[in-house]
Amino acid sequence: MKQLISLWILFCIAIAPFAQAEGLRSLRGSTVVNGDVPSENFRWEKDRGPLPRHFVQQPPIIPHTTKGYLITKEFNKCLDCHSWDRTADTGATKISITHFKTRGGTELTNISPRRYFCQQCHVPQTDAKPLVGNTFQPAAGMVK
């Protein structure tokens, strides 16, 4: 066992000079983004109806601004409109039944903790300029 550890240490020392990625940079450069900071790369879009999806199981895109929305473990601003008991009053899309299931498939009476922080999967629309080019095309069955 000691010999294996010694070999591992020698290996790590030997590859250390090569492990540093020279010239590797973040797309943002060295600037750190703190929270919901407006950028010259996009502007918040005005509210609109639901947007089309481009692939199966794509989480819906949020068709309104979320600037200033508070989501903590005690409070979720999204639930003010999207909870099942509020959608009749607000006209907002109802949270999917899948958000009330645990990873093991057990149904809960409230939203699952793993689905509580909405913007882990759902993102607001913007007119953001792409950081890199792409040739993405929607799935054939998703095109109207």
Q: Which residues contact 107 (CB under 8 A, 6 or more apart)?
A: 100, 101
- The pLDDT assigned to 108 comes to 93
Q: Which residues contact 49 (CB under 8 A, 6 or more apart)?
A: 63
How far is the C-alpha of 91 from the C-alpha of 86, rounded, in Å?
8
Could you give the domains of the chain?
68-127 (1.10.1130.10)
Q: How far apart are the first and last CA of the chain?
A: 62
- The pLDDT assigned to 15 comes to 54
- The pLDDT assigned to 101 comes to 93
Burial (CB < 10 A; 0-12, 13-18, 19+), residue 118, is buried
Each of the 144 residues of the chain gets a pLDDT tens digit; together they read 556 565 556 555 555 555 554 555 556 565 555 554 555 555 556 677 777 788 888 888 888 888 888 888 888 999 999 999 999 998 888 999 999 999 999 999 999 988 988 888 998 877 777 788 889 888 887 766
- The pLDDT assigned to 89 comes to 92
3-state secondary structure of 10: helix
How far is the C-alpha of 67 from the C-alpha of 80, rounded, in Å?
15
How far is the C-alpha of 92 from the C-alpha of 71, rounded, in Å?
18
Q: What is the pTM of this model?
A: 0.59
